[in-house]
Structure 1
């Protein structure tokens, strides 16, 4: 037994079985590996033993079908197949993961399927957010409405034709991709669906990949489609697609398409209409009824195919399908409307759009699809449109054809009304927004001049003096004293007069040019412009070297009176509103709120503390001056209305191409501009006849039911003795001026007034002489004006005309020939005709400062309508004079010429005897009568 056991165990761990085979047990790892190698080598040797010895021959030997089949169905073949499959899976996974990582690193994190990248119609509403003013689009007309704004027909039709397995796949359709691949390879076509799912198409639209057809883009599209399916529900994805898909040249999204084609919302579409719209995205150029390439037969065929697909997929019944096919849907399509069709308050809306582009960027606006609630008050806007429409009649009578208007809420800085022209539909200039166009402001700029002067000097207030005299001023050498139209180069006023010392109150309210230019020069041109810009001229007050306003240049003294410099009406209104706020500039806005398509607030107006642009005291004094009807030169006093005080300033450019009226209360600021649309045509008459009815009409209407509010008076304002304005600066200003006036807290006056009286010549503005006619003489204490003067430029000219120097009247000469007048009386029944024959003397009968005048009086009382202007020798006739019975009035005819020489002739009529008895009381004696400039009735 012992011997047999030793024979069965040849080596350690090796045993011999009964069959004679040796078996190793309890082998080490290395022994096992070696055993496997030995077994493999043994099997290989067994296989090779039956094969040719040459490798070349063995290769073809193995390719025999029977041997191949035997191998792959053998144990060795099965193991090899498993190895190949496993390795392929690993390699494929690694390649797929690498490809995903490679492409994904450059892809966006797709969280937004709003379609804003494509763009969308911006909807502008009034300040209530309820009244739609305009739905704006450029290249894209799109109105996102979300899944609740689209009816089931539209959703089902889209799924049926675009992606029948939409509710089953996870972002991409393998069968669809394979089908599309076969079609591409073999050139197949027909009514088959494409390879892209609705999810993939939404990805393309969201990433602007619609024109990129590369395989790389396809891979990226698949990656984002899978991620999109994880992020959103199927209904959200479908709604996102329907809100974004192209439905025509500019129509994007089913809501915009539904409104344009059928004038209804997408939630109200009928079955045939939904099938029609579902047809279009495949090829908008070919299937859109608005396209020049529209093929109705092809379109109807595809529409019916959509209905067939809906019926096949159980979305509609066969009866519904057939009924829908009977409808001529193309006949229901509405004609495309012009872009601005139905727009309300068009110039305001375009102004709001400009602000939106400036603050949010043009690209953002184009792709936003926002709802914009504006500051427009429809009631106030309607009043503005009515006043402009009525006022245009007078504008046209005086040679213009355009009027613009803007109004701002003083407390908020919100533009509440704006009219930019006369007719928005006019193809030539209707869309020009004159309320935001650069225009020269004329005298309406002057409040900025005086605000700057008062704020930046210590000797200026409402009662301070600036000398309105003829002489050289920077920019106006005054070497030729003729009118500008005749080549003169002096600075003139509208009435061609120089009243001498003029208070700031009367200089501003009387719209005098010389004091305004001096105010700017004393304060500084650049500083004055900076003040105006700080108050509200955000786009600047600029001068240009060319007529097209493209090359900016330095502004000079003429810009003080709005000559050669430009601003915008709406910003000008804002500057005046800042004055009303005592110099506080709060941001001007056209927009209250911006919301996205999901009603999420993007931006919203909030009250601002603003910036103190100028000292409140300076602004308050200017407001007080502009609200003073006594100092105003205007014939119609519009500064007071039902307890409200309006601060008003007019403006006219030197070439009469622009007329302005600007003003404000404590509640609203408003401005009017009138002109000709090309600004190449002068207007006639007084600008106030055109601007005042519009401005006054609106301001009175909006203040009718408002409670008057007093402007807060700054604590530092002083009421101090002032220069008393006794000489009217012109127009309908009333004198004398106040003895005391407003001055800022920093005002210091070191001068003392004198009581010296002087006799001035009103014509030359110099000391009167013995040759000065009595009518031209005026007693004054002009030397007292120096005590209140803030005019540091006064005295630069030898012809200042202020009466404060020793210059004497150089207009009148003792040898002058005075005009003559001869009166004749002609009787007809109980009435008389009075004829005055005038002969000119040395000087013209009518001139720049004083107009020639003939008056008829009876016993010293001027006859009704008995005053006539005269410019040349000739006769003046007064008809139908009837004296009272039993009286014998003395009729006197008096002529006054351009330098205030006068002459008169008288006749006495004995009415009781019905005969004319004349007695000549002197043919050319002088007669002291009132100044003809003060012979007008005040309004």
Structure 2
């Protein structure tokens, strides 16, 4: 619903006069109930053969509106409307309490802000805009009389519903004008002049829905989070009713500065008219708070304006699509698994330029099924073969290294690591647990990937994605929400992973792009034949993930021989477009903030020295080959070992 709360000083005097005249002309003289006015209204309405003036006091009507709008279930709503003495007594008791607590002007202000006027307008400010395209403070006499006449039965006088309803609204307006003249609030001449005017209904569209939001993708995520999350109601029906009828003030985690940074960075590198779409999500480590969601196309349904009708930054459950394959950003989960199992930074293995899973492969999914495919050869798009350590293999993003590493640590263990960081497919389907899991075959969304990487920046502390910090209902009742976090893995494992991933900027695939002038770590991601490209990275203070792909179908519309943002690319990699977007975003988003350093790696546990340490035969942290498995870690060749 749409509502704008305004102070009484921002409501035209003629509007206050009109509503009091028709609904409760003794409002400023009586208490919670006006017995004299109620009796007089009954007599007058009987004589007129209809409802000429209200029978309940404005205070009673305010209480009734509060109770009705607080009702979430159909049962509660029916109870708030039932014609019973019990309900009337309950309302009277509440009305007496309201009269004791608030002044008459305060009560009138609250009533005008909660009343429903029809045509989807809640509150006098929304009604003034909807009906006449003006602010409540600028209402004229006939306009004020029209709105005052509408509150008695807003559905019967809803001008959007047809000619009959408009005629009824006009009739009600004139009744209000007559009552104002009768009470000598206006002259008979003024009443006659106002009654001679046309209805003047404009039907001005009201802001509402995420399409009207300044941050539509973020708005869509918030809306769907409330609809999906049992925290906001036990059933989908209850959550829907809460959202649509609750008159809520929703406080979110969005940071306008960071949002602007993400939007500007994307605009710099990708145009809305480009076929590929770039999207980015920013998450605060240690909280799960989503700080920004941006895309290269605006939200909407216009193909001519190159708009998107779904939330490309999020998963399907939050208004998004099916996502894009995450590519080599998934290698980080294999790296984490190796470190969790005791591997050291300079442990290594020899790999070729191609890798084919052996028939006796230990590639088993989490159901214990052997899913190796010896007929499929994995090759290296980035980095060559030879001896690679955990560090150099990561920096160069060597596919064959990570296939062999995944086989060593166990596919299911890698899947479990990913799941512990909230990794799930964007389309909501189960993760595909194949041998190429480490190469990012699953379709993901930037929010999920950014949040997973944020856990490394938070030293292994994973927090569920969070967008709502507080909800205040129309009665001022507030409920605050806290991050939901867990320690997904050892902080020292996170330190070692961050240490390795920081080398991506100085020794690896992001060397040409460069760092951001403070501690940062991350991983590029490029899928097979450049279908999609990613970069996911983090500092201790902020994490982000950027993807780019063609929504028409990444498998058939690859990122080869393509112009993006006015620049031609023979092939798009993670460091081509996503990496620079991430860098520009971080520079702007973190500008003026104090830089936080990563916790130094525990060198006694992980061997340390991730920056350029050559493996040596006398290093005590070298993994020893295990008999009976020629895929275990080996000594580097050519070093006389």
Q: Shorter chain as normaliser: what TM range?
A: 0.7 to 0.9
Deviations 1:704-724 (A, max 9, x none): 54554431215565574999x
The answer on whether the counterparts of 1:583 and 1:613 sit within 8 Å (CA) in structure 2 is yes
Q: Does 1:677 align with 2:543?
A: no
The answer on whether the counterparts of 1:179 and 1:195 sit within 8 Å (CA) in structure 2 is no
Deviations 1:667-688 (A, max 9, x none): 3222101112243533122233
Counterpart pick for 1:753 among 617, 621, 630: 617
Q: In structure 1, what is the Cα distance between the partners aligned to 2:407 and 2:98?
A: 68
What is the aligned partner in structure 2 of residue 529 from structure 1? 415
Unaligned runs of 5+ residues in structure 2 are 234-238, 316-321, 364-369, 561-570
Deviations 1:60-105 (A, max 9, x none): xxxxxxxxxxxxxxxxxxxxxxxxxxxxxxxxxxxxxxxxxxxxxx
Per chain length, whose mean CA-contact separation is higher, i.e. which structure has more relative contact order (CA < 8 Å, sep 6+)?
2
Q: Per the alignment, do residues 281 and 517 of structure 1 end up closer, same or farther by CA in structure 2, a change over 3 Å counting? A: same
Q: Does 1:443 align with 2:328?
A: yes
Q: CA deviation at 1:505?
A: 0.8
Q: Per the alignment, do residues 319 and 714 of structure 1 end up closer, same or farther by CA in structure 2, a change over 3 Å counting? A: farther
Counterpart pick for 1:255 among 100, 107, 125: 125
Mapping of 1:49-88 within 5 angstroms?
none
What is the aligned partner in structure 2 of residue 512 from structure 1? 398
Mapping of 1:582-731 within 5 angstroms?
582-586=459-463, 588-597=465-474, 601-603=478-480, 611-629=486-504, 632-634=507-509, 636-641=511-516, 643-654=517-528, 656-680=530-554, 681-683=556-558, 684=560, 685-688=571-574, 689-703=576-590, 705-706=592-593, 708-715=595-602, 717=604, 720=607
The answer on whether the counterparts of 1:285 and 1:293 sit within 8 Å (CA) in structure 2 is no
The answer on whether the counterparts of 1:407 and 1:670 sit within 8 Å (CA) in structure 2 is yes
Q: Does 1:360 align with 2:232?
A: yes
Q: Does 1:375 align with 2:236?
A: no
What is the aligned partner in structure 1 of residue 180 from structure 2? 310
Deviations 1:120-164 (A, max 9, x none): xxxxxxxxxxxxxxxxxxxx3234557666554333322323344
Q: Per the alignment, do residues 792 and 609 of structure 1 end up closer, same or farther by CA in structure 2, a change over 3 Å counting? A: farther
The answer on whether the counterparts of 2:403 and 2:438 sit within 8 Å (CA) in structure 1 is yes
The answer on whether the counterparts of 1:157 and 1:275 sit within 8 Å (CA) in structure 2 is yes
| Backbone CA RMSD of aligned residues | 4.2
- Structure of greater Rg: 1
Q: In structure 2, what is the Cα distance between the partners aligned to 1:493 and 1:323?
A: 84
Q: Per the alignment, do residues 630 and 285 of structure 1 end up closer, same or farther by CA in structure 2, a change over 3 Å counting? A: closer
Q: In structure 1, what is the Cα distance between the partners aligned to 2:338 and 2:594?
A: 33
Q: In structure 2, what is the Cα distance between the partners aligned to 1:719 and 1:281?
A: 72
The answer on whether the counterparts of 1:585 and 1:611 sit within 8 Å (CA) in structure 2 is yes
Q: CA deviation at 1:318?
A: 4.2
What is the aligned partner in structure 2 of residue 99 from structure 1? none
Helix, strand or coil: the match of 1:273? helix
What is the aligned partner in structure 2 of residue 463 from structure 1? 346
The answer on whether the counterparts of 1:518 and 1:793 sit within 8 Å (CA) in structure 2 is no
The answer on whether the counterparts of 1:580 and 1:664 sit within 8 Å (CA) in structure 2 is yes
What is the aligned partner in structure 2 of residue 744 from structure 1? none
Mapping of 1:328-343 within 5 angstroms?
328=198, 330=200, 334-335=204-205, 339-340=209-210, 342-343=212-213
The answer on whether the counterparts of 1:144 and 1:597 sit within 8 Å (CA) in structure 2 is no
Q: In structure 2, what is the Cα distance between the partners aligned to 1:584 and 1:785?
A: 30
Deviations 1:533-565 (A, max 9, x none): 334x2xx4359xxxxx465366233222211x3
Q: In structure 2, what is the Cα distance between the partners aligned to 1:269 and 1:717?
A: 75
The answer on whether the counterparts of 2:126 and 2:206 sit within 8 Å (CA) in structure 1 is no
Normalized against structure 2, the TM-score is what?
0.77
Unaligned runs of 5+ residues in structure 1 are 1-139, 481-488, 544-548, 724-735, 741-751, 755-783, 805-939
What is the aligned partner in structure 1 of residue 389 from structure 2? 503
Q: In structure 1, what is the Cα distance between the partners aligned to 2:454 and 2:113?
A: 43
Mapping of 1:210-609 within 5 angstroms?
217-233=83-99, 238-293=108-163, 296=166, 298-318=168-188, 320-322=190-192, 324-325=194-195, 328=198, 330=200, 334-335=204-205, 339-340=209-210, 342-357=212-227, 358=229, 359-361=231-233, 362=239, 363-393=241-271, 396=274, 400-410=275-285, 413-420=288-295, 422-427=297-302, 430-437=308-315, 439=323, 440-457=325-342, 460-469=343-352, 470-472=355-357, 473=361, 474=363, 479-480=374-375, 489-494=376-381, 499-535=385-421, 537=422, 540-542=423-425, 549=427, 552=430, 555-563=433-441, 565-586=442-463, 588-597=465-474, 601-603=478-480
The answer on whether the counterparts of 1:401 and 1:422 sit within 8 Å (CA) in structure 2 is no
Q: How many residues align?
A: 580
Q: In structure 2, what is the Cα distance between the partners aligned to 1:793 and 1:293?
A: 87
Q: CA deviation at 1:785?
A: 13
Normalized against structure 1, the TM-score is what?
0.54
Counting helix residues as a fraction of each chain, which structure ranks higher? 2
Q: CA deviation at 1:373?
A: 3.3
The answer on whether the counterparts of 2:344 and 2:605 sit within 8 Å (CA) in structure 1 is no
Q: In structure 2, what is the Cα distance between the partners aligned to 1:466 and 1:722?
A: 18
